[in-house]
Amino acid sequence: MLYNERQIITMKLKYVTAESREAAEARAAQHFGCDRNDITFEVINGEEEGAQQWTLLAITGAQAHEIYNMDCAYGVYYEPDGVYLELYECRGGGCQLDSQSLMQHLGRKRIEGTSVKAVQDLTTAGAGRARIANAQQEYVYGEDIHVEVSNDETEARARLLPPEPGGAAMDVAAAKQKLNAVGVVHGIDDQALAGLLEAKEYGEPRTVAVATPSEDGENGKLIFNFSTDERTGRPREIGGGRVDYRSLDLYVPVTEGQLLVTRTMATQGTPGMSVRGRELKQKPGKEVNLPRGKNVNTNPEKTEMSSMCSGMVQFMNNSINVSSVYKINGDCDLSVGNIEFDGSVHISGSVRSGHTIKATGGVIVGGTVEAATIIAGGNVEIKNGVQGADKGRIESGGSVTALYIERGTVIADGSITVDVSIHSQIETGGSLTAKGKRGAIIGGRAGAAGNIIANYIGAVSNTQTEVVVGVMMRKRERINFLEREIERLNNEMVKLDQLDAYLEKTKARMDKDTWGKLFKSGAENRRLNQESLEDCNAEVAVLKHELEHATEGKVHVFETAFHGARIMIGNNTYRVNDDISFATFRYRDGEIVYGTCELSKPK
């Protein structure tokens, strides 16, 4: 059988040697089993004068054009005196000898004692016949696979090699044994291997084994539970295509205990395995450290970072800083907008009209508060004063200190200290002290649950000024509200009585279901009104009792209480008809009396 690098070829070629041409041709006809006229002969040697023998190349089973463009071919012949290799050179546009294909064929034939030198000499000559081994029984090989493993051992590819005529087909088990024999022991795809054997696409490579890739570990990560984006300073959207130009995106608020950062630990990953069973190392993930921080807590495992206080958080230079103080360098104006902060607010400048500051802590203003609103859970300190224009309002859960308050409203649970109050509404759960160069309360109304201390109350111009001690004015206002509510509820009860009378008259002729619904509704409303009345009356009683007994507070005047001032202690009122100097007003025996000031004027 003849072969080339592509396939078994169908034409027949044979070198024949005899003492004459006629004898050589006869031998060829005998070998091929056909008439010599069906054979094409080419003289290799013998035509030279004195030649003792002729050597012919006999070709049959091919057309002339096939011979003229024949690929290089080779054949192995088992003869009584040895094993011979015949090599036939290519012609015309035929392909050259593929030495690797030839050596693979000889290897598959399992020829014992092959002379490598004889094969090499023949291939160097390019054509001819050579004895390459001693006589032996021919081995007919079946299908086989040629395995190629990639350099990184991540893939094995196999090419199915064709059998000789009569050679056995290969099964999957034999193919796997061949893979194992060349070291491929992992990732074998039985389905791909079976497909290779079934397709019979000889020489076409197919992937039959794939490595298990390693899985690199994941790096540790920091998950920020707050926005680390740069603040835009843009107005806040309030819906309907509108924006609030006084509410700007300037900081990120946080609350005490809020989780700021979560750290996920790095993983080691999983090693892989090559098709040859070699471990493929993975790349472990890299750990990441929590950032530095101020006013933050880190858990023992160092996987979480939380805020120690309420306020604002910033992430800069790999550091997380939580501050309970929001500092404004300059005025609180349109460039800053309204402020709502869980902590304290410090403003170096002034608070301009129309702005609102809400803070759970204290508020410090280095300049002036105009017609603005400040609501603080802690103390409020205003370095200059309040120019309220009858619109400014300050509410404090602590104390309030200001140089002056002009046409403003100040309400504090703690004490209030001011140099001068002009036409303002002041209410404090502690004491009100007007001290300083002027120390005056001029116009408006000032109330304190404790004492009121001032140099002057009222003015020479007899400006109406009212000071109240002993109870906060909001409690008086609460009494007024509750009394109005009691009146409204009593009116509702009258209407419910009228409804009951109407239902009693119409019970016989009204639809039963309608009558039942009206009666049930009336009864429920009466119950709710009665409960509300009881609550309101109880609260009024408590507040009035407190008001009637709120007589411990005093009003101390170091200079003058001017004509036109009105002083209230508990439910009692004293009108100042003539200027009174250096006096203390107090409650005694059901009325307000005054005497020499009980306090010394501070220097």
* pLDDT of residue 77 exceeding 60: yes
* pLDDT of residue 9 exceeding 60: no
* Distance in angstroms (rounded) separating the CA atoms of residues 337 and 246: 4
In this prediction, residue 10 carries a pLDDT of 65
% residues pLDDT > 90 (the chain): 51
**Tokens linked to 69:** 């463009």
Q: Measured between alpha carbons, how far is residue 576 from residues 300, 464, 471, 473, 565 in Å?
A: 69, 10, 21, 20, 5
**Tokens linked to 17:** 């040697």
Which stretch of DSSP H or E encloses residue 195?
A: helix 190-199
User: Within a 10 A sphere around the Cβ of 524, how many other Cβ atoms?
Assistant: 10
**Tokens linked to 275:** 């098709």
**Tokens linked to 354:** 């129309």
* String of DSSP letters for 227-291: --SPP--PEEEEETTEEEEEEE---EEE-TT-EEEEEEPP--EE-EE-TTS-EE---PPPP-PPP
* Distance in angstroms (rounded) separating the CA atoms of residues 554 and 60: 140
CA 257 to chain centre: 20
* Distance in angstroms (rounded) separating the CA atoms of residues 23 and 25: 5
Per-residue model confidence as pLDDT tens digits over 242-298: 555 455 556 788 888 999 999 999 999 999 999 999 999 999 999 999 988 888 999
pTM of the model: 0.55
Of residues 372 and 90, the one with the higher pLDDT is: 372
In this prediction, residue 49 carries a pLDDT of 75
* pLDDT of residue 64 exceeding 60: yes
Q: Measured between alpha carbons, how far is residue 186 from residues 153, 160, 174, 194, 215 in Å?
A: 10, 20, 16, 16, 17
Which stretch of DSSP H or E encloses residue 178?
A: helix 172-181
In this prediction, residue 5 carries a pLDDT of 46
In this prediction, residue 172 carries a pLDDT of 92
* pLDDT of residue 240 exceeding 80: no
Residue 303, amino acid: T
* pLDDT of residue 239 exceeding 80: no
CA 85 to chain centre: 73
Pairing of β 580-588 and β 144-149: unpaired
Residue 340, amino acid: E
Question: Residue 130's pLDDT band (boundaries 50, 70, 90)?
Answer: very high
User: Within a 10 A sphere around the Cβ of 1, how many other Cβ atoms?
Assistant: 13
* pLDDT of residue 529 exceeding 70: yes
* Exposure letters 102-115 (e unless 16+ CB within 10 A, then b): beebbebbebeebb
In sequence order, the β-bridge partners of residue 42 are 57
2 within 8 A of 73, measured Cβ to Cβ = yes
DSSP state of 5: S
DSSP state of 540: H
**Beta carbons within 8 Å of 501's beta carbon, 6+ residues apart:** none
In this prediction, residue 601 carries a pLDDT of 82
* pLDDT of residue 550 exceeding 80: no
**Tokens linked to 348:** 């170096």
Q: What is the dihedral of CA 95, 99, 100, 106, to 10 degrees?
A: 120
**Beta carbons within 8 Å of 539's beta carbon, 6+ residues apart:** 478, 482
Question: Residue 473's pLDDT band (boundaries 50, 70, 90)?
Answer: low
In sequence order, the β-bridge partners of residue 221 are 264
Q: Which sign, positive or negative, has the C-alpha torsion 244, 245, 250, 256?
A: negative
User: Within a 10 A sphere around the Cβ of 305, how many other Cβ atoms?
Assistant: 22
* Exposure letters 126-161 (e unless 16+ CB within 10 A, then b): ebbbbbbbeeeeeeebebbbebebeeebbbbbbbbb
**Tokens linked to 442:** 């001029």
Per-residue model confidence as pLDDT tens digits over 414-450: 999 999 999 999 999 889 999 888 999 999 999 998 8
Of residues 476 and 331, the one with the higher pLDDT is: 331
Q: Mean pLDDT lowest for which of 3-17, 185-199, 216-230, 394-408?
A: 3-17
Per-residue model confidence as pLDDT tens digits over 385-416: 999 999 999 999 999 999 999 999 999 989 99
Q: What is the dihedral of CA 93, 99, 105, 106, to 10 degrees?
A: 130
Averaged confidence pLDDT in the chain = 88
In this prediction, residue 65 carries a pLDDT of 73
Q: What is the mean pLDDT of residues 508-531?
A: 88
* Distance in angstroms (rounded) separating the CA atoms of residues 25 and 326: 114
* Distance in angstroms (rounded) separating the CA atoms of residues 147 and 390: 96
Name the phi and psi angles at 120, rounded to 5.
-65, -40
DSSP state of 20: S
In this prediction, residue 3 carries a pLDDT of 58
In this prediction, residue 379 carries a pLDDT of 94
CA 535 to chain centre: 51
Strands (E), 105-200: 128-133, 144-149, 155-161
**Tokens linked to 211:** 């490595």
Strands (E), 1-72: 2-3, 8-9, 12-18, 40-45, 54-60
57 within 8 A of 88, measured Cβ to Cβ = yes
In this prediction, residue 6 carries a pLDDT of 47
Per-residue model confidence as pLDDT tens digits over 161-200: 989 888 899 999 999 999 999 999 999 999 999 999 999 9
Q: Which sign, positive or negative, has the C-alpha torsion 395, 396, 397, 399?
A: negative
Question: Residue 340's pLDDT band (boundaries 50, 70, 90)?
Answer: confident
* pLDDT of residue 570 exceeding 80: no
* Exposure letters 554-569 (e unless 16+ CB within 10 A, then b): bbbbbbbbbbbbbbbb
Q: What is the mean pLDDT of residues 68-92?
A: 89
Name the phi and psi angles at 148, rounded to 5.
-125, 130
User: Within a 10 A sphere around the Cβ of 587, how many other Cβ atoms?
Assistant: 20
Q: What is the mean pLDDT of residues 117-124?
A: 92
